[in-house]
Structure 1
Amino acid sequence: MGSTENIWNAVEVPESHSSEVPSSSLAVDHSLSLPEMKPRIVELCKDLFKQWSSLDASDFSLETVSGGITNLLLKVSVKEKDGNVVHMTVRLYGPNTEYVINRERELQAIPFLSAAGFGAKLLGVFGNGMVQSFINARTLTPLDMRKPKLVSKIAKQLRRFHEVGIAGSKEPQLWNDVFKFFERASSLKFDDHEKQKKYETISFGEIHKEIIELKEMTDRFNAPIVFSHNDLLSGNLMLNDEEDKLYFIDFEYGSYSYRGFDIGNHFNEYAGYDCDYSLYPIKDEQYHFFRYYLKPDSPHEVSDEELKALYLETNTFMLASHLYWALWALIQAKMSPIDFDYLSYFFLRYNEYKNQREKSFLLARSKFSGSQIDS
């Protein structure tokens, strides 16, 4: 497994956007301290935005907005010659994230999503990241996500998000991505002896069988294919409390996929990074979400049949979310230098898949057999 090998096609800025958005070949080391990083960020900004080329380094300031388990996000403030201060975000991709993220797909989608009012505006791209407009809002917590008022706002926004059209192929990518992840995850070798021992306890034959069976089951739903966020966790939801405005951010994993996957994945994220799946929304909580998703302007007109159908769809695709992120975590356990126990995260996600499998498959089969099962 060479370091240049990639499960995706080579990542390039698409031709259609390279002329519209400034680009730079410069890269910034993700591991530097903030003081060490500043001169490199200043150089990058001057290279991307020629109007700032004569500014002094003291006209630039930066602070860390977040350090997730994939990227580093910085707020950069620039004092222009006329005294105006411009704020923007610089997103540094985590090292080796190209093994799990299709950057070309992301860059293709951002202008369309931005035009529809989602996320931040793309201002520039560089060797290992992008520059976007700054969003003045706070990041939600997993507990915020389940508050009824916010649930309805998220559901309405997700419906609108799913109505955005992105240029290019509309082929759903979920299973293509899962099989790519499986291929990569099943052929790893860890230098760390303890990690290797844990890794060797995983039955990839069993996982492959589960992927095939789950794909066959989900295919029977003929679920709507929409442009999906695919990573709608609390960290990718921001709220401006003063304006009561909700933002979706970070479209790294966005692709055409299945409606039920995007919703089921969102519900899984109620558990947070601690994976407390006792927080997974109960049926009534899901129905509250579904009403505002299906009919944002008249949620109480949604029929019981519509609610039940989306409930069965979502709670079958929810299983696919566990497989997707479990396999993702194995790749990250090998590739990512970030201090996070990805190997344990694999077991948390895969074990929850096994915990929920029987109930979800039973519910799905009830739909196709016509039998009534108490869910």
Structure 2
Amino acid sequence: MDYELIIVRYGEIGVKSPKVRRRFENKLISNIKNKLDCKIEINQGRIFLYPENYKDAEAALSKVIGIVSYSPAVSTETDFDSIEETLNNYVDNLILEGLFDKTKSFAVRGRRVGTHDFTSQEMAGFCGSVIVKKTGAPVNLSKPDFEFFVEVRENKTYIFHEKLNGIGGLPVGTQGKVIALVSGGIDSPVAAFMMMKRGCEVIVLHFNNYPYTGGSNEKVLKIIEKLGEYSPSKLKYYEAKYGDYLKSCIEDAPVRLTCVLCKTGMYRIAEELAKYEDALAIIDGSSLGQVASQTLPNLLATRYVTKMPVLSPLIGLDKIEIENIGKKVGTFDISILPAPGCTAVPKYPETNADLDKFLEVLDEINFEEEIKKVISSIK
């Protein structure tokens, strides 16, 4: 099929106020341009792309957050003779490619924007008659085997047969920066992606727990590379050396509190990095009750000393739901690659931390001084 353009649609951007809508539209177009080098136009809630390679363009658009759907299309002038000629050629190409024949029932879905001397239904009926005349295929408006779409916009008419699903959401960069705590596990990459889908620019922070883990960051780098496919620009990535801090927690505090102290330190360090990066929140992969540090009492304790908002987009999801998102995004297969577990985790971790006693422990281990040491190791 020799397409002329791709029609791109967005969703909730369209319900914003005119000023905000224009800003979001411009950001979405900018993000598309970072993925595709092509001419782009916008007109009345539609973005029109004119790429040189349509397969490459479709692959790129499938990873642009903010796009709800897109359709490779052909265009013609809005007059019945031109539409009939273009539609006949379009059907010929579908038949040659084995996508449509006279044995398949079909429907034409019409849409019209502007002032015309015909209705959307009348245009759909005309196009249906053209296809019947050419192929003899039966019409079935309720459950067709094949759908044609004819979209009339003022003096231009667009014909297509596919509506390819996009990711949806808000364009990355419209909601400010966040610091995402990303490990090599399943949950945290999914949390980072979900905040990207809500328009956040994600900056990745990873804690290297060596010698309590293997120390290699290869798995994390693969996860960041995968997440980067959904970002209009290369993701910024920071790594902090965390082993010495964990050592002080194990040696100088009740062993049951190791996981609570670990997560508390991560939030505080992320908060300082957020200030440096002008980020507005911290993101993590917490799912309520999933592990010891994610019970309600422990969530209260671990976040108590951090003033910046800590957002947990997975908080109400179970493991299966999280895994399904990870599979769809492409991070799951990387997350389940073999890797040594953290040996700092105690046999019986605390699940119900007493806040007052926990704050006393922070004083005993010189928490803020230990955090400063970790911050100096960030690269």
When the two structures are superposed, what TM-score results if normalisation uses the length of structure 1?
0.25
Higher strand share: 2
Higher helix share: 1
When the two structures are superposed, what TM-score results if normalisation uses the length of structure 2?
0.25
